[in-house]
């Protein structure tokens, strides 16, 4: 019940296209859903996060869509750029100061 | 504002030895989390320290331990190293005034066990 399932494992997108990464969770106590971006040799960087009281959050080219009834959330990267090539992790946690449960990651490659 | 720092960057040990990894949180952050990122396994929660106390630990054996100092920096100790302990060890910090959920990661320590 603590798992967060992420798909796809890898993704290749043309420059300018839309990258979509999906995550699903089981634990209904989760109420914080962040996405992290990790470049090789670096730690994960917080990209964008959402709470269940909204169905969508947008920051620049990055959008999180959240479906509470389906217990699913997704990251959309609009106008994908080669600089977006990285590994993306979804995560979830419960209220307050609690550990994050991570998906296994999606390796995104944006090709020109 | 300086980010989370970790040292050393790389650490090479042999099986059976002990490893000590260090983390300094963002100024003002009182909570430190440790995660293990092994190849192909994603990030797995190891330990959580808040206000100097261990608050929770993940599904790891007792040879993984640590502590948090009065200045909120933290140390992760891994005893009796095994080959499968080879991984990137990440530290993250957060503060209660951010709701405690927003975790900011350091660059990690790459531990290699030979």
Q: What are the average pLDDT values for consecutive 10-residue runs of chain A, which has 112 residues? A: 89 98 95 95 94 94 96 98 97 86 96 94
**For the range B43-49, what are the long-range contacts, defined as Cβ-Cβ under 8 Å and sequence gap of 24 or more?**
B43/A44, B43/A89, B43/A91, B43/A100, B43/A102, B43/B90, B44/A102, B45/A99, B45/A100, B45/A101, B46/B76, B46/B89, B47/B76, B48/A97, B48/A99, B49/B74
**What is the per-residue pLDDT for B17?**
98
Q: Which band of pLDDT confidence, cut at 50, 70 and 90, is reported for residue B39? A: confident
CB contact B60 to A (< 8 Å): no
pLDDT of residue B98: 64
**End-to-end C-alpha distance for chain B, whole angstroms:** 37
CA distance B52 to B67: 7
Locate the chain A residue with the closest alpha carbon to B48: A99
Q: Over range B70-91, report the average pLDDT.
A: 97
Contact A43 B107 (CB under 8 A): yes
The encoded tokens of residue A76 equal 């959309």
Q: Inter-chain contact A104–B101, Cβ cutoff 8 Å? A: no
The pLDDT mean for chain B works out to 94
- Mean pLDDT, residues B58-64 taken together: 96
> Do the chains contact at B100 and A96, CB–CB below 8 Å?
yes
Residue A97 is predicted with a pLDDT of: 72
A102 lies within 8 A of chain B by CB: yes
Tell me if chain A has a CB within 8 Å of the CB of B31: yes
Beta bridge partners of A92: A101
Q: CA of B4: which chain A residue's CA is closest?
A: A43
What separation, in Å, do the N-terminal and C-terminal C-alpha atoms of chain A show? 40
Q: Measured between CB atoms, does A5 come within 8 Å of chain B?
A: no
The pLDDT value recorded for residue B42 is 86
pLDDT of residue A1: 55
Residue B89 has pLDDT above 90, yes or no: yes
Considering only the beta carbons, identify the residue of A95, A100, A105 that sits closest to B45: A100
Beta-ladder partners of B30: none
Could you say which of B41, B100, B106 has the minimum Cβ distance to residue A97? B100
Give me the pLDDT at residue B1, please. 66
Structure tokens at A30: 């989760």
pLDDT over threshold 70, residue B105: yes
A16, A79 in Cβ contact below 8 A?
Answer: yes
């Amino acid at each position: 019940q603590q798992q967060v399932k992420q798909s796809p494992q890898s993704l290749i997108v043309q420059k300018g296209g839309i990258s979509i990464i999906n995550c699903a969770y089981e634990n209904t106590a989760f109420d914080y859903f962040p996405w992290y971006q990790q470049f090789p040799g670096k730690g994960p960087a917080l990209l964008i996060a959402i709470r269940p009281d909204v169905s969508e959050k947008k920051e620049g080219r990055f959008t999180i869509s959240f479906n509470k009834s389906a217990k699913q959330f997704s990251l959309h990267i609009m106008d994908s750029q080669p600089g977006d090539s990285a590994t993306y992790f979804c995560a979830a946690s419960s209220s307050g100061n609690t550990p994050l449960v991570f998906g296994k990651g999606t390796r995104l490659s944006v090709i020109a | 504002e300086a980010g989370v720092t970790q040292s050393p960057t790389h650490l090479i040990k042999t099986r059976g030895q002990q490893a000590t990894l260090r983390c300094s949180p963002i100024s003002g952050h009182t909570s430190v989390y440790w995660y293990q990122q092994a190849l192909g396994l994603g990030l797995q929660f190891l330990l959580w320290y808040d206000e100097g106390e261990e608050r929770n630990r993940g599904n790891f054996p007792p040879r993984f331990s640590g502590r948090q100092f009065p200045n909120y920096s933290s140390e992760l100790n891994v005893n009796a190293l095994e080959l499968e302990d080879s991984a990137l060890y990440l530290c993250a910090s957060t503060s209660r005034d951010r709701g405690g959920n927003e975790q900011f990661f350091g660059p990690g320590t790459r531990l290699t066990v030979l």
